[in-house]
Homo-oligomer: A and B are copies of this chain.
Amino acid sequence: MNAPSMPCRPVTAADWLDRYHRIRAETEALAAPLSPEDQTVQSMPDASPTKWHRAHVSWFFEQFLLQPHLPGYRCFDPRYAFLFNSYYVSVGPRFERPQRGLITRPSAGEVGDYRTHVDRAMTALLGGASDALLHRIAPVLELGLQHEQQHQELICTDILHALSHNPLYPAAREGWRWPVPATASTEAIALRAGAHPVGHRGGGFAFDNETPQHTAWLQDAAVAAQLVSNADWLAFIADGGYTTPALWLSDGWPLAQQWQAPLYWCRIDDVWHSHTLGGLREIDPCLPVCHISYYEADAFARWAGQRLPTEAEWEAAEAGGALGNAFGHVWQWTSSAYSPYPGYRPTTGALGEYNGKFMINQLVLRGSSCVTPRGHARPSYRNFFYPHQRWQFSGLRLAR
């Protein structure tokens, strides 16, 4: 898979509407194989029910587009704002996050009705929008669509986590398979010391956290063209990787002692398996390792006598064009703390809560994963998670 193509922002209302409906339909396609029961549960505070994701992204359009811009719009249910606001403190109180899995009503079906209601109103809004209005709402509309795509990935990661608690190893999607990575060079990509540009160069959509583009000074370095594979990881396990304290960051060592393999791995009759979106599967040594924490990625790199790349190194290497499987397989942990870029300014208003307030205690992942929606990824994309988190489709590549 090559670098993702930048989405061209639609120009006409019809283009927007087409894109809107396409993305909304993708969400419903992900939810379709899931039963009402599947869609209801929340397996940890970090995850959310499918039903909640489906409603929350709809609330986003209602809150930030329909209410301000569609005259006479009537909320589907005014109480939903309380239930389906995620973390926008500025727009009112919210239902407690860790209890989202207790909300059995509205049902999955009623959430479908809510989505239809919002879709109809959005069709009316866009269908009747003057060029001036279209121009004014385009940034929020774009953000709403990007936002829904982010939640599409979360629907996948969260349902896998939920189903992983079931000893019957159910599949979220029958027949789901890991994508097969392209062959990548065994030679690392060399970076020359000096000033490199980092961040989104403009043209096409980017989140505020990717901006402004700025200069970073890199030292001589080499970034692996290949992702670390399951075969590599099995060697790490076999060599006592999880039981050697000197390999681990101090904060990670207590966790390492509770782990003995990536998340979702289990040993059945002496063979390593993994619970995937398609159910239980034997570990394939050729695939990239997935569902590892930053602590594990860092320990693996130390064991291998190398290190993780910084996000600037990753972006510079990607720009060189030889980074294998950068997109569409696993997010790749970098050693960079998730901080504001020099000169970063959050969007004003409630949408300014989108990114900035999370810029602490997390690390940046680059690339994209096999559950990232098509057209959503780009080289400057900054994903971020806490170093102990493993339920995302996260892997690594090495640097030195």
| Chain A residues proximal to chain B, CB less than 8 Å | 35-41, 43, 51, 79, 82-83, 87, 89-90, 95, 99, 101-105, 107-108, 162-163, 165-168, 170, 195, 214-219, 221, 245-246, 248-252, 294-295, 298, 335-337, 339-340, 342-343, 353, 357-361, 387
Contact = CB atoms under 8 A, between A and B. Distances in A.
B37 A40 contact: yes
Contact of A217 (B51, B216, B246): B216
Nearest to A342: B219
Given A250-B357, A387-B361, A41 B41 contact: yes
Contacts of A101: 41, 101
A208 B298 CA distance: 19
Given A101-B101, A249-B357, 14 more contacts: A35-B107, A37-B108, A38-B105, A83-B167, A99-B165, A104-B163, A104-B166, A105-B170, A195-B217, A215-B219, A249-B360, A251-B361, A335-B340, A361-B361
Nearest to A216: B217
B339 A335 contact: yes
A102 B162 contact: yes
A90 B246 CA distance: 8
Contacts of A103: 165-166
A200 B100 CA distance: 46
A168 B249 CA distance: 31
Contacts of A95: 167
A89 B217 CA distance: 36
Nearest to A360: B249
Nearest to A196: B217
Contacts of A214: 219
A219 B195 CA distance: 12
Given A337-B339, A339-B337, A387-B361, A41 B248 contact: no
A221 B214 CA distance: 14
A395 B219 CA distance: 32
Given A79-B168, A245-B89, A104 B37 contact: yes
9 contacts: A37-B37, A41-B102, A79-B167, A82-B167, A83-B167, A251-B361, A294-B360, A298-B360, A335-B339
Contacts of A336: 339
Given A195-B217, A217-B217, A35 B105 contact: yes
Given A36-B36, A107-B37, A167-B79, A102 B251 contact: no
Given A335-B339, A387-B360, A102 B43 contact: yes
Contacts of A335: 339-340
A209 to B, nearest CB: 14
Contacts of A40: 37, 40-41, 104
Nearest to A352: B246
Query: 5 nearest interchain CB pairs?
Result: A337-B337, A37-B104, A217-B217, A102-B165, A36-B36
Contacts of A107: 35-37
B104 A41 contact: yes
A129 B168 CA distance: 35
A360 B102 contact: no
A336 B101 CA distance: 37
B246 A89 contact: yes
A381 B221 CA distance: 26
A169 to B, nearest CB: 10
Nearest to A335: B339
A272 B146 CA distance: 45
